[in-house]
Chains A and B, each alone.
Chain A
Amino acid sequence: MNKKFLLGLMLAMFVFVLAACGNSSEESTESEEEASGDEAVETTEDASEDEASGDKTTVTFWHAMNGPHQEAITELTNNFNESQDEFEVVEQNQGDYSTLNQSIMASGVSDDLPTLAQATASNIPDWASNDLIVPLDDLLAGENFDQEVLDDIIPGFLEGVSYQDQMMAVPFAKSVRIMYVNDDILEEYDAEVPASFEDIQALGEEMQAAGDDRFALGLEAGVEMELETMARQNGAEWISDDLSTVDIGEENATEPMQYIVDGIDAGWARTAGEDGFMSGPFGRGDVALYLGSSAGLSHVEPGAEESGISWSTAELPVYGGGEPLTLLAGNDLTVFSSATDEEQEGAAAFMNFLLQPENTAEWAMATGYVPVTNEGINTEVYQTYLEENPNAAAAAAETEYAIASPMFAGSGEYRDAMTQAQDAILIDGAEVTETMQNLQEETTQIIEENN
Chain B
Amino acid sequence: MQNKKTWKATFQAFWYILPLFIIIGVFNIYPIIKSFAMAFYDDFNIFSGEIGGYGLTNFETLVSDEEFAEALMNTFVYVLFVTPISIILALAVAILLNNIKRLKPIFQSIYFLPFVTSTVAISIVWRWLYHSEYGLINYVLSLFGIDTINWLTNPDWAMPAAIIMAIWKSLGFNILLFLVGLNNIGKTYYDAAKIDGANAWQRFVNVTVPLLGPTIFLVSIISIINNFKVFDEIYALFNGQPGPSNSTITVVYYLYKKFYTEFDYGVASASGIVLFLIIFVITIVQIWFNKRFVHYR
Q: Are B280 and A12 in touch, CB under 8 angstroms?
A: yes
Q: Are B261 and A23 in touch, CB under 8 angstroms?
A: no
Residue of A nearest to B263 (CB): A126
Interface centre among B49, B121, B226, B229 (most CB of A within 10 A): B229
Bound CA–CA A278/B276 (angstroms)? 39
Residues of A within 8 A of B154 (CB): 427
Q: Given that A20-B31, A29-B236 are contacting pairs, would A274 and B263 also be in contact in the complex, using a CB cutoff of 8 Å?
A: no
Main secondary structure, interface of A, reads: helix
Q: In the A-B complex, list the 4 residue pairs whose CB atoms are closest, starting with the nearest.
A: A423-B245, A274-B152, A412-B261, A427-B245
Interface centre among B45, B153, B231, B279 (most CB of A within 10 A): B153
Q: Are B118 and A22 in touch, CB under 8 angstroms?
A: no
Q: Are B261 and A15 in touch, CB under 8 angstroms?
A: no
Residue of A nearest to B153 (CB): A273
B132 part of interface (Cβ distance < 8 Å):
yes
Within the complex, which residue of A22, A130, A412 is in contact with B262, where a contact is CB–CB below 8 Å?
A412
Residue of B nearest to A17 (CB): B28
Which residues 255-293 of B have a CB within 8 angstroms of A? 256-257, 260-263, 275-276, 279-280, 283-284, 287
A105 part of interface (Cβ distance < 8 Å):
yes
Residues of B within 8 A of A378 (CB): none
Residues of B within 8 A of A221 (CB): 239, 241
- Interface size grouping (class) on chain B: 35 or more
Given contacts A23-B231, A23-B252, A273-B152, 5 further A-B pairs with CB under 8 A are A16-B28, A22-B226, A29-B240, A31-B121, A274-B150
Which residues 1-43 of A have a CB within 8 angstroms of B? 11-12, 15-23, 25-26, 28-31
Taking beta carbons and an 8 Å cutoff, which residues of A are in contact with B? 11-12, 15-23, 25-26, 28-31, 98, 101-102, 105, 108-109, 126, 130, 132, 221, 273-276, 412-413, 415-416, 419-420, 423-424, 427-428
Q: Are A19 and B261 in touch, CB under 8 angstroms?
A: no
Bound CA–CA A275/B150 (angstroms)? 12
Q: Are A274 and B280 in touch, CB under 8 angstroms?
A: no
B46 part of interface (Cβ distance < 8 Å):
yes
Q: Are A15 and B280 in touch, CB under 8 angstroms?
A: yes
Residues of A within 8 A of B119 (CB): 25
Interface centre among B49, B225, B226, B263 (most CB of A within 10 A): B263
Residues of B within 8 A of A18 (CB): 222, 225-226
Interface centre among B24, B131, B236, B239 (most CB of A within 10 A): B239
B169 part of interface (Cβ distance < 8 Å):
no
Within the complex, which residue of B28, B235, B246 is in contact with A29, where a contact is CB–CB below 8 Å?
B235
Q: Are B279 and A428 in touch, CB under 8 angstroms?
A: no
Q: Given that A11-B284, A19-B276 are contacting pairs, would A413 and B245 also be in contact in the complex, using a CB cutoff of 8 Å?
A: no
B244 part of interface (Cβ distance < 8 Å):
yes
Within the complex, which residue of B48, B222, B261, B275 is in contact with A413, where a contact is CB–CB below 8 Å?
B261
Q: Given that A25-B120, A109-B47, A413-B262 are contacting pairs, would A274 and B127 also be in contact in the complex, using a CB cutoff of 8 Å?
A: yes
Q: Are B256 and A276 in touch, CB under 8 angstroms?
A: no
Q: Are A23 and B229 in touch, CB under 8 angstroms?
A: yes
Q: Are B225 and A416 in touch, CB under 8 angstroms?
A: no
Interface centre among A16, A26, A28 (most CB of B within 10 A): A26
B121 smallest CB distance to A (angstroms): 7
B156 smallest CB distance to A (angstroms): 10
Which residues 200-252 of B have a CB within 8 angstroms of A? 222, 225-226, 228-229, 231-232, 235-236, 239-241, 244-246, 252
Main secondary structure, interface of B, reads: helix
Q: Are B118 and A25 in touch, CB under 8 angstroms?
A: yes
Q: Given that A23-B229, A25-B232, A108-B47 are contacting pairs, would A15 and B283 also be in contact in the complex, using a CB cutoff of 8 Å?
A: yes
Q: Given that A102-B260, A130-B47 are contacting pairs, would A26 and B232 also be in contact in the complex, using a CB cutoff of 8 Å?
A: yes
Q: Given that A109-B46, A412-B261 are contacting pairs, would A26 and B246 also be in contact in the complex, using a CB cutoff of 8 Å?
A: no
Q: Are B47 and A132 in touch, CB under 8 angstroms?
A: yes
B226 smallest CB distance to A (angstroms): 7
22 chain-A/chain-B pairs, Cβ below 8 angstroms? A11-B283, A15-B280, A16-B29, A17-B28, A18-B226, A20-B28, A25-B120, A26-B231, A26-B256, A28-B118, A30-B120, A109-B47, A274-B130, A274-B132, A274-B153, A275-B131, A276-B127, A412-B261, A413-B262, A416-B257, A416-B262, A427-B244
B193 part of interface (Cβ distance < 8 Å):
no
Bound CA–CA A130/B46 (angstroms)? 9
Residue of B nearest to A30 (CB): B120
Within the complex, which residue of B152, B155, B225 is in contact with A428, where a contact is CB–CB below 8 Å?
B155
Bound CA–CA A109/B121 (angstroms)? 32
A278 smallest CB distance to B (angstroms): 12
Residues of B within 8 A of A413 (CB): 261-262
Bound CA–CA A136/B154 (angstroms)? 47
Q: Are A130 and B225 in touch, CB under 8 angstroms?
A: no
Interface centre among A31, A101, A424, A427 (most CB of B within 10 A): A427
Residues of B within 8 A of A31 (CB): 118, 120-121
Residues of A within 8 A of B131 (CB): 274-275
Q: Are A19 and B225 in touch, CB under 8 angstroms?
A: yes
B177 part of interface (Cβ distance < 8 Å):
no
Bound CA–CA A28/B229 (angstroms)? 17
